A and B are shown apart, each in its own frame.
Chain A
């Protein structure tokens, strides 16, 4: 049915969606929050009470400052508003202080900071190539807005678990939007600022570097898309360099004397290969291969020789919650250097590809997602929250191309499911299930409707894999806790979840690579809408 134009102006739906999700976030103020809440409270306290020179030396709390200086300045700014809510939260010694006013303030700060994210989403909608739809619910911009504003991962990580990712991803998406709009200087500036807010975005810096060098510093390409060496613009390179360097100097300037200390806080390599809840990446599969061997071996050994005590064999801390060194028992151990090499190797083909045949801003975005995903797959001490760095930018591509929509569905559903262990309390169980269903049903049906020409979006194997998440959830969260093994192998559900999701993530990674390496020039690109 065709609906006549609504009474109010065309953009009111955006406002309604933004307001709606903000209301939902407000309702979640009283939900469970993780130790990250205390982390940020501690940073509010130490930036407020101590002079800048001591910020990176302060160690009263175990949650030391491990974000770059600009974020510390952000916390400093927040602390001045925090004063009006509850002065006690700004005392460094008040460890684990969580009065109602503190909770209200911190939660509200995340909700308000999300305004940056809203603005970025609006800008991204403007970059869509085609935005026609029979009715509002079929418009790509509407679908993209919901996929981003109501993203399940962002909601539960930011507004329950507690972090400031909305605001940070807002800066990232804004930078991407600026590149789409050919405002490259702004894009570069925003990205430099982002790097100085949270250095995890170094994962995608190679994509930026290669893209800007290839498409911006070389002002023209030949007719067939290859590099035109003579079009190199020194001016642009120097300007870009100035922007980046000046951002870094503003950020690190006050800390130039303590640079080694700051860097050691930012890059703590003492932590283990895997975070407490294994991120669903290659190392999860690697660990399983190792553990399987270990479990099989130890059982065999125990039965056969009755000698080896299972506790004597080295094994990782599986009981969750703590971060430790991980020694592989049978397969060779993995060092930080090895992961770095693996990561670089995994993203190199993509970087080569956009150097050779850049596909404009869309090629850059695809390469960015691959860099994020590659680092997620092979990186050292990856947290499963990092999957959001791949899912959110991929949403932009998902509403424009059929293949990307399919990859997005697989990646987002498995990626979001892998976040379930973050909310392990019974009280939050219905919320995470309802919200997950909400996002999944919406993304499935809206993308299916958008790309209805050309058959089903997911092939039967993919659909079965995704449906398999339902029994997995039932087993891990409902059946398993009632069995005997809960006491002896409490880590098993987490392991199962990680491994199952790692399969989906790996599959998405491979498909994404294939789509990057085989896609033709942007001018000849087949429109699949």
Chain B
């Protein structure tokens, strides 16, 4: 069968699963007064449509920052504005200032889900297809299998179409950035990644590899001459993109400061809720949250993040090729996740350990189905195509058992949070193992096999 038909079948399967998941409930459904992320997105449409730009990030009588204030960079705000215009066309009640708080209806849900699907089709899915087409080694069947696995990745589907977010935009733009760099279009890649960064500040996790890769490449080309020229062009692209995105906020020096203040809320603690990183896990043994002062916490997390990120970045700087770049992306994001400040579980987007969040949203059924399907499918396909006996097969029953335990057993009354915490700690240990493993791989460069490495 021809490639195009196989790829389109993968896309259609991915789209069907996405839309089928969207039938289920969303974050904060029917839970006044605060509701959830869904209401946050709707609220941002309301705010950006009705209020002038200079009020978006400020606490005014019309804009109560305590009720889901904007805390993503300007591109998200512009996206919400565009959605709001469409919403106004369909039903003005959806974005009425103040009056539309907590608005919930079937048609509104369809509209919101449709906006996610639209941006997915526009940005994320083409990026995945191009990535698999150009950057996967192996037969065309392997490329198609990879595309299928990525498109069916439950974490993204569940967060975007279940819980409700727009991660496909930022991840898609970042993927376009990676594509650009891979094809040698450095300017395009930088542009795409800068846009991703301006959509969600979480993309900072990936920023250091991008920086080191490009810098390393320029250095390799010679800092005097072509390399310098290239560096200048890239820097200019990045600065101009930033300027364009932040233009409405540059008129008054207070504006960008406030935006930054919203984006990086150092006022909040080291972590919130149960997240599978070092601080949360450590907190079980030593109560660091209360033991150390906020400044010390900040310094500690900064230092450790830097420590874990430095080896990989320096290696990339010295050897700027694509394989190093991909590994550095993994290492960098893991390091940030494990050690930085105010991390949310969503930052990891890893299916099996998102359970606590999704059960809260009433998304247990789609979660179980998509995760099992994904695990089964990727194990099946990859073991067939790489012809190895994946030791990961034992993982499958292990995860099933842990999921079952979490769902059906009641935790002892003394420790009501026992299971979420256990899951977090378990995941944390996994991630710690991953970061050590991937760092070793990147630094030591063992003999690379012909088979394709799945690193992203």
Instruction: Please tell me if B88 contacts chain A, counting CB pairs below 8 Å.
Output: no
Given known A-B contacts A8-B384, A23-B369, A27-B21, A434 and B12 have beta carbons under 8 A apart = yes
CA distance A438 to B7 in the complex (A): 11
Of A309-317, A330-338, A425-433, A479-487, the one contacting chain B is A425-433
Question: Is the beta-carbon distance between A446 and B1 smaller than 8 angstroms?
Answer: yes
Indicate if the CB atoms of B16 and A438 lie closer than 8 Å. Answer: yes
Which A residue's beta carbon lies closest to that of B381? A16
Interface flag for B284 (CB, 8 Å): no
Question: CB-CB < 8 A to A449: which residues of B?
Answer: 1-2
Indicate if B141 sits at the interface (CB-CB under 8 A). Answer: yes
Are B20 and A442 touching (Cβ within 8 A)?
A: no
Contact call A24/B17, Cβ cutoff below 8 A: yes
Given contacts A24-B20, A27-B20, contact A441 B370 (CB under 8 A): no
Q: Check B9 against A438 for contact (C-beta < 8 Å).
A: yes
Stretch from B216-224, B352-360, B372-380, B408-416 forming part of the interface with A? B372-380
User: Chain B contacts of A23 at CB under 8 A?
Assistant: 369-370, 372-373
Q: Are B5 and A435 in contact (CB under 8 A)?
A: no
Q: Mark A414-454, 1 if CB is under 8 A from B, else 0.
A: 00000000000011001100110110011011100100000
Interface flag for A7 (CB, 8 Å): yes
Beta-carbon contact of B9 and A441 below 8 Å? yes
Interface residue B19 (Cβ < 8 Å from any Cβ of A)? yes
Assess whether B110 is in contact with A426, with CB atoms less than 8 Å apart: yes
Residue B387 is within 8 A (CB to CB) of chain A in the complex: yes
Contacts of A438 in B (CB 8 A): 9, 12-13, 16
A449 to B2, CA, bound (A): 9
Does A427 lie within 8 Å of B23, measured CB to CB?
yes
Q: What residues on B are CB-neighbors of A7 within 8 Å?
A: 383-384, 387, 389
Q: Hey, which chain A residues are within 8 Å of B12, CB to CB?
A: 434-435, 437-438, 441
**A430 and B15 contact, CB distance less than 8 A:** yes
Q: How far is the CB of B369 from chain A (nearest CB, A)?
A: 5
B262 at the interface (CB under 8 A from A): no
Please tell me if the beta carbons of A30 and B23 are within 8 angstroms of each other in the complex.
Answer: yes
A26 located at the interface, meaning its Cβ lies under 8 Å from any Cβ of chain B in the complex: yes
Contact call A6/B384, Cβ cutoff below 8 A: yes
CB-based contact B21/A20 at 8 Å: no
Per-residue CB contact flags for chain B residues 3-37 toward chain A (1 = under 8 Å, else 0) read 00110110011011101110110000000000000
**A1 proximal to B (CB < 8 A):** yes
User: Does any Cβ of B come within 8 Å of A138's Cβ?
Assistant: yes
In the complex, the answer to whether B20 meets A137 with C-beta atoms within 8 Å is no
Q: How far is the CB of A138 from chain B (nearest CB, A)?
A: 7
Question: CB of B398 within 8 A of chain A?
Answer: no
Which chain B residue lies CB-closest to A427?
B110
Find chain A residues with CB under 8 A from B373 CB: 19-20, 23
The complex places the Cα of A47 from the Cα of B15 at a distance, in Å, of: 40
Interface string of B58-83 (1 = CB under 8 A from A): 00000000000000000000000000
**Which of chain A's residues 214-259 have a Cβ closer than 8 Å to chain B?**
none
User: In the docked arrangement, what's the CA distance between A444 and B6, Å?
Assistant: 12
A31: B residues at CB distance < 8 A:
20, 23
Known A-B contacts A20-B373, A20-B377, A31-B23; A441 and B17 likewise in contact (beta carbons under 8 Å): no
Decide yes or no: A30 and B24 within 8 Å by CB, A3-B141, A7-B387 being known contacts: yes
Whether B1 pairs with A27 at a CB distance below 8 angstroms is: no
CA distance A444 to B4 in the complex (A): 13
Contact partner of B117 among A24, A430, A445, CB < 8 A?
Answer: A430
Is B394 an interface residue when CB atoms closer than 8 A count as contact? no
B387 CB → nearest A CB, Å: 6
| Residue A29 interfacial (CB < 8 Å) | yes
Query: Which residues of A from 12 to 62 have beta carbons under 8 Å from B?
Result: 12, 16, 19-20, 23-24, 26-31
Which residue of chain A has its CB nearest to the CB of B139? A1
How many residues on the B side are at the interface (Cβ–Cβ under 8 A)? 36
Query: Are B139 and A3 within 8 A (Cβ)?
Result: yes
Instruction: Please judge, given known A-B contacts A7-B387, A426-B110, A445-B1, whether A24 and B23 are in contact too, CB under 8 Å.
Output: no
**In the assembled complex, which residues on chain B have CB atoms less than 8 Å from the CB atom of A12?**
380
Q: Output the least CB separation between A334 and chain B (Å).
A: 40
Interface residue from A3, A16, A135, A434 paired with B380 (Cβ < 8 Å): A16
Residues of A within 8 A of B5 (CB): 441-442, 444-445
B108-142 CB contact bits vs A (8 Å, 1 = yes)? 00100000010000000000000000000001110
Binary flags per residue of A127-157, CB closer than 8 Å to B gives 1, else 0: 0000000010110000000000000000000
B145 to chain A, nearest CB (A): 12
Chain A contact residues, majority secondary structure: helix
Partner of B20, one of A3, A19, A135, A431: A431
Bound state CA distance, A442 and B12, in angstroms?
11
For A32, the closest partner residue in chain B by CB is B23
Given A7-B387, A426-B110; A27-B17 close (CB under 8 Å): yes
Chain A residues, Cβ within 8 Å of B387: 4, 7
Q: Which residues of B contact A1 (CB under 8 A)?
A: 139-141
Q: Is the CB of B9 within 8 A of A430?
A: no
**B365 contacts A24, C-beta separation under 8 Å:** no
Q: Note all chain B residues with C-beta closer than 8 A to A135.
A: 141
Q: List CB contacts (< 8 Å) of B155-172 with chain A.
A: none
A8 to B20, CA, bound (A): 31
B377: A residues at CB distance < 8 A: 16, 20
A7 to B377, CA, bound (A): 15
Chain A hits for B24, CB < 8 A: 30
Task: Assess the A445–B384 pair: CB atoms within 8 A.
Answer: no
Query: What are the residues of chain A within 8 A of B17 when measuring CB–CB?
Result: 24, 27
A431–B139 CB distance below 8 A: no
**A434–B37 CA distance with the chains assembled, in angstroms:** 27
Chain A residues, Cβ within 8 Å of B369: 23, 26-27
Q: Closest CB of chain A to B402's CB: distance in Å?
A: 20
Contact present for B23 and A445 (CB under 8 Å): no
- Does chain A have a CB within 8 A of B366? yes
Q: CA of A240 to CA of B117 in the docked complex: distance in angstroms?
A: 57
Residues of B within 8 A of A27 (CB): 17, 20-21, 23, 366, 369-370
Contact of B365 among A26, A437, A441 (CB under 8 A): A26
- The answer to whether B19 and A434 touch across the interface, beta carbons within 8 angstroms, is yes
Query: Using a CB-CB cutoff of 8 Å, which residues 104-148 of chain A contact chain B?
Result: 135, 137-138
Contacts of B380 in A (CB 8 A): 12, 16
A438–B17 alpha-carbon span in the complex (Å): 12
CB distance from B120 to the nearest CB of A (A): 12
Contact of A28 among B20, B370, B376 (CB under 8 A): B20
Nearest chain A CB to B228 CB, angstrom units: 45
Distance of A444 Cα from B5 Cα, bound (Å):
10
A16 to B384, CA, bound (A): 12
Given contacts A7-B383, A442-B9, A445-B5, contact A430 B372 (CB under 8 A): no
Name A19's contact: one of B13, B21, B376 (CB within 8 Å): B376
Q: How far is the CB of A139 from chain B (nearest CB, A)?
A: 12
Q: How far is the CA of A6 from the CA of B389 in the complex (A)?
A: 12
> Once the chains are docked, how many angstroms separate the CA of A13 from the CA of B160?
30
User: With the chains together, A434 CA to B13 CA distance in Å?
Assistant: 8
Partner of A138, one of B1, B8, B20: B1
Give the Cβ gap from A149 to chain B, nearest Cβ, in Å: 14
Interface string of B136-154 (1 = CB under 8 A from A): 0001110000000000000
A-chain residues with CB within 8 Å of residue B383 when the two chains form the complex: 7-8
Residues of B with C-beta under 8 A to A24: 16-17, 20
Tell me which of A4, A12, A20 has the highest count of chain B C-beta atoms within 10 A of its own C-beta: A20
- Given the complex of chains A and B, what is the CA–CA distance between A426 and B110 in angstroms? 8
Q: Which residue of A1, A31, A434, A445 has the most chain B CB atoms within 10 A of its CB atom?
A: A434
**A and B contact pairs by CB, cutoff 8 A, 20 listed:** A7-B389, A8-B383, A16-B376, A19-B376, A20-B373, A23-B372, A24-B20, A26-B369, A27-B21, A27-B23, A27-B366, A30-B24, A30-B365, A427-B110, A430-B19, A435-B12, A438-B12, A438-B13, A441-B5, A444-B5
* Given A3-B141, A427-B110; 7 other pairs, CB 8 A cutoff: A19-B376, A24-B16, A26-B369, A27-B17, A441-B5, A442-B5, A445-B5
Top 9 A-B residue pairs of the complex, sorted by shortest distance between their CB atoms: A27-B20, A445-B5, A23-B373, A438-B12, A30-B23, A434-B16, A26-B369, A430-B19, A6-B384
